[in-house]
């Protein structure tokens, strides 16, 4: 394993899976996981960071294995009570999960940065690898659709991604978080986890200076395609790609990553798309990218890290 640390960029469930795999192989000193916060939202006065929580819960072994997000065995009594009070409580906050949001909100209100809060929560849950918000400032992912400009959670949860998107916009240009800046400077490799490029990776790249630094990064940059056989493993990535005018395939993913990525790891099901990916200047690599078991996650992480080692050696 290389000595310079790996920087992994992640969104929610898919990203958390590969992050878990990476954390099984790399030490906390060898890995920094930078997580999208463009989906963060305030619900009922609580600061909710869905992607940070998904990564944190996954790495702590507390995640709900059925959904990939939320906490295993969680219930929704508080949320039901909010509905009883006539509150639009469509986000469905879990009860245990609310413990996280209460603590996060309390510390933020006490003046902690989101980075500091995340480090504290992770420490308490036994997560040893650094999980870092992309920024301590606020970026709001807005989906501009045929039903108007929608905050991400409105689009994603309340409207179940049904509106037709024509554009995605990131409001706010705070600096990347200190640990993200440090990781960008010190990284030996950059890994784009198989998260939604448009909704999870793009907000990270939208931060001032980040895309430029990654574009001029000299080490290996490896993305794992979240599109397998023309479909997203979960979430709206495929629907969105089509609506935004991309080819709904790993080749479309390659076209999106052009200039900021060297290698695209695509699923075995997409073997036939290698040339199409190569046409966008990315080296196509084939692996099993569908992560169901923890072994799947570790295997894909190992494959990605081997590619990073090769890339570093060339």
Interface residue list for a second copy (CB under 8 A): 44-46, 71, 74-75, 77-82, 84-87, 94-100, 102-103, 105-106, 109, 120-121, 124-125
C-alpha span between 252 and 244 (Å, rounded)? 11
State in angstroms the smallest separation of the CB of 12 from a second copy. 20
Name the residue nearer to a second copy (CB basis): 84 or 218.
Answer: 84
Indicate the residue among 100 and 206 with the shorter CB distance to a second copy. 100
Minimum gap (Å) between residue 69 Cβ and a second copy:
16
Spatial separation of the C-alpha atoms in residues 251 and 220, rounded to whole Å = 19
**Min CB(95)–a second copy separation in Å:** 4
Read out DSSP for 159-206? STT-SPEEEEEEE--PPBPHHHHHHHHH-SEEEE-SS-IIIIIHHHHT
Q: Which is nearer to a second copy, 126 or 281 (CB)?
A: 126
287 near 5, Cβ under 8 Å? no
What sign does the dihedral 46-52-58-60 (CA atoms) show?
negative
Whichever of 106 and 295 has its CB closer to a second copy, that residue is 106
Least gap, CB of 108 to a second copy (angstroms): 10
Pairing of strands 6-10, 31-35: parallel
Minimum CB distance to a second copy, residue 144 (Å): 28
Residues with Cβ < 8 Å from 148, sequence gap 6 or more? none
3-state secondary structure of 156: helix
Q: Phi and psi (nearest 5°) for 313? A: -85, -20
Q: How far apart are CA 177 and CA 52, in angstroms?
A: 14
Report the nearest approach of a second copy to the CB of residue 177 (Å). 21
- Pair 297, 18: CB distance under 8 Å: yes
Residue owning tokens 């969680």: 74
In whole angstroms, the minimum distance from the beta carbon of 199 to a second copy comes to: 27
* Between 124 and 158, CB nearer to a second copy: 124
Q: Which residues are registered as beta bridge partners of 266?
A: 286
Contacts of 280 (CB under 8 A, 6+ apart): 251, 254, 255, 257, 258
Residue number with CB closer to a second copy (108 or 140): 108
Whole-angstrom distance, CA of residue 149 vs CA of residue 144: 4
Of residues 95 and 309, the one with the C-beta less far from a second copy: 95
């Amino acid at each position: 394993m290389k000595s310079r640390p790996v920087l992994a960029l992640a969104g929610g469930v898919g990203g958390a899976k590969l992050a878990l795999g990476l954390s099984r192989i790399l030490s906390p000193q060898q890995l920094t996981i930078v997580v999208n916060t463009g989906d963060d939202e305030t619900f009922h006065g609580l600061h909710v960071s869905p992607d940070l929580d998904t990564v944190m819960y996954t790495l702590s072994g507390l995640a709900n294995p059925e959904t990939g997000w939320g906490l295993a065995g969680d219930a929704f009594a508080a949320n039901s009570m909010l509905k009883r009070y006539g509150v639009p409580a469509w986000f469905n906050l879990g009860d245990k999960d609310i413990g996280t949001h209460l603590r996060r909100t309390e510390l933020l209100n006490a003046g902690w940065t989101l980075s500091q809060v995340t480090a504290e929560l992770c420490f308490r849950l036994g997560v040893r690898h650094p999980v870092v918000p992309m920024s301590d400032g606020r970026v709001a992912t807005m989906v501009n659709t045929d039903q108007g400009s929608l905050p991400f959670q409105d689009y994603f949860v309340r409207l179940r991604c049904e509106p037709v998107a024509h554009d995605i916009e990131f409001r706010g240009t705070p600096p990347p978080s200190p640990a993200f800046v440090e990781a960008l400077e010190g990284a030996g490799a950059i890994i784009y986890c198989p998260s939604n490029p448009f909704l999870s990776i793009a907000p990270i790249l939208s931060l001032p200076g980040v895309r430029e630094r990654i574009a001029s990064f000299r080490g290996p940059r490896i993305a794992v395609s979240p599109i397998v056989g023309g479909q997203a493993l979960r979430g709206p990535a495929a629907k969105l790609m089509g609506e935004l005018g991309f080819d709904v395939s790993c080749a479309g993913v390659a076209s999106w990553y052009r200039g900021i990525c060297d290698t695209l790891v695509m699923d075995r099901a997409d073997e036939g798309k290698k040339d199409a990916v190569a046409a966008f200047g990315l080296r196509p690599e084939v692996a099993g990218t569908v992560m169901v078991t923890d072994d799947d996650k570790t295997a894909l992480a190992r494959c990605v890290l081997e590619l990073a080692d090769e890339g570093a050696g060339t």
